[in-house]
Amino acid sequence: MAIPVAYNLRNLIVRKTTTLMTALGIALTVAVLLAMMALLGGLRSTLSSSGDPLQILVMRKGSETELVSNFTREQFQDLKFKAGIARTASGDPMASLEVVTVINLASVDAPEGMNVTVRGLLPIGLEMRKGLKLSSGRWFDSGKRELVVGKSVAQRYPSAGVGKHITFGRGDWEVVGVMDAGQSAQNSEIFGDLNQVSSDLDRTEVLSSALLRAPDAGAAAALLNSINDDQRLNMNAVSEKEYYALQTQAAAPIEYIGIFVAVIMAIGSSFAAMNTMYAAVARRSREIGTLRVLGFSQGSILFSFFLESVLLAALGGLLGCLLVFPLNGVTTGIGSTTFSELAFAFRVTPQIMFAGLLFATVLGAVGGLFPARMAAKKEILVALREV
């Protein structure tokens, strides 16, 4: 026969100081793990919602990121008239030649400056990015030193608000608008006119990359293959979606550090839970004897103490979730493989919280197993005699 769960709950409540201290220790461990997971979750969700499966990013062969790619106007002329590219209403191919660079701006977090991507493009490039809309101000005019910043840039960099001036290239650039790209990585970029940006950077002929749009998924795959197979073009085409998916690599160091920290803290707090449970077993020796006299089996005592430890840890897990919850939606940024900052928000999802609870119960189970075994192994007479 099993010992009622209420017995364990009451025991936890009676020793509330010890219970709370042990649970808080576990809560902090869970909180650290969850914070990392929320960070990674936010980053992944931003990257996976960036990029359109119908769009193809073309770079120089051998280049893995736009920043290190070089792309001449001549090459673009050859590329633009390839078969399988969607057309605009006016019949122009949906192909956007772009230049990408990085500038250093002082941010809220880093007064000494963080790298931000600046992208020069033509109106067709804006048209092709379907999820992009202007949230304040206006778009830049061609031939002027005007910029439109992503909403994360506007939030995180005080020097990049509407009406402010940013100096790079050959002069001052005025910020004339803020764009909202939904969840996409473009929120961390700054857009300007292709010709103005490239001439300011002294690279009017050698730009960075091209973005193409295919009318449907089949055409996109065909276009991708035909560019990659074209020896004369010597270019590397990837689906825009895949390009951003590859950037989740940037999170790898954080992931390793997070797991490392969580594992070490987990060892510490499972020992603490073990300590608490050993003390509980020692103090309740007579109770255990009494339970045995009443006819509860060794197995049910083992299970009861084990359950108590798991309950204790689960309480810690719940507290950990509560501790992390306020992080949900907080914006932060990390350096990405594109050598510039990518902003995203922490995402504390139910799945993550569930993982945290599970992690806590595993901690409790590890910590509770030996004390529970000790409780079950006690001789009835010895247990009853103990003070």
Q: How many CB atoms lie within 10 A of CB 243?
A: 23
Measured in degrees and rounded to the nearest 5, phi and psi for residue 239 equal: -70, 140
Q: Which residues contact 57 (CB under 8 A, 6 or more apart)?
A: 66, 209, 210, 211, 237, 238, 239, 240, 243
Write down the least CB distance from residue 191 to other proteins, Å.
17
Answer for which of 60, 151, 213, 292 binds other proteins (CB under 8 A) is 60
Which element (helix H / strand E) includes 137?
strand 133-137
- The yes or no reply on residue 122 touching other proteins (CB under 8 A) is no
Q: Which is nearer to other proteins, 217 or 257 (CB)?
A: 257
Q: How far, rounded to the nearest angstrom, does the alpha carbon of residue 176 sit from its chain's CA centroid?
A: 30
Answer for which of 221, 332, 373, 384 binds other proteins (CB under 8 A) is 332
Write down the least CB distance from residue 370 to other proteins, Å.
10
Q: CA 259 to CA 251: how far, in whole Å?
A: 12
279-308: which residues touch other proteins (CB under 8 A)? Answer: 279, 282-283
- The yes or no reply on residue 62 touching other proteins (CB under 8 A) is yes
Answer for which of 71, 140, 168, 305 binds other proteins (CB under 8 A) is 168
- The yes or no reply on residue 103 touching other proteins (CB under 8 A) is yes
Q: Which is nearer to other proteins, 5 or 264 (CB)?
A: 264
Write down the least CB distance from residue 306 to other proteins, Å.
18
Task: Give the β-pairing of 171-180 and 206-207.
Answer: unpaired
**Window 201-240: contact mask with other proteins (x via CB under 8 A):** xx--xx----------------------------------
Q: Which is nearer to other proteins, 25 or 150 (CB)?
A: 25
DSSP characters over 281-308 = HHHTHHHHHHHHHTT--HHHHHHHHHHH
CB 314 within 8 A of CB 357: yes
- The yes or no reply on residue 169 touching other proteins (CB under 8 A) is yes
Q: Which is nearer to other proteins, 326 or 335 (CB)?
A: 335
CB 247 within 8 A of CB 338: yes
Name the segment binding other proteins (CB under 8 A); options: 108-116, 142-150, 185-193, 298-306: 108-116
Looking at residue 177, its amino acid is: G
Q: CA 355 to CA 31: how far, in whole Å?
A: 11
Q: Which is nearer to other proteins, 83 or 387 (CB)?
A: 387
Instruction: List residues bridging with 97 in a β-sheet.
Output: 210
337-376: which residues touch other proteins (CB under 8 A)? Answer: 339, 341
16-55: which residues touch other proteins (CB under 8 A)? Answer: 17-18, 21-22, 24-25, 28-29, 31-32, 35
**Window 245-284: contact mask with other proteins (x via CB under 8 A):** ----x---xx------x--xx-xxx-xx-xxx-xx--xx-
CA distances from 222 to 56, 86, 96, 215, 232 (A): 11, 13, 19, 11, 17
- Rg (C-alpha) for the chain, rounded Å, is 30
Q: Which is nearer to other proteins, 175 or 274 (CB)?
A: 274
Q: Which is nearer to other proteins, 95 or 273 (CB)?
A: 273
Q: Which is nearer to other proteins, 9 or 282 (CB)?
A: 282
Start-to-end CA span in the chain (Å): 27
Write down the least CB distance from residue 383 to other proteins, Å.
17
Q: Which residues contact 214 (CB under 8 A, 6 or more apart)?
A: 54, 55, 56, 84, 85, 86, 220, 222, 223
- Which residues contribute to the site for other proteins (CB under 8 A)? 17-18, 21-22, 24-25, 28-29, 31-32, 35, 60, 62-64, 67-70, 101-104, 109-110, 112-115, 168-170, 201-202, 205-206, 249, 253-254, 261, 264-265, 267-269, 271-272, 274-276, 278-279, 282-283, 332-335, 339, 341, 387
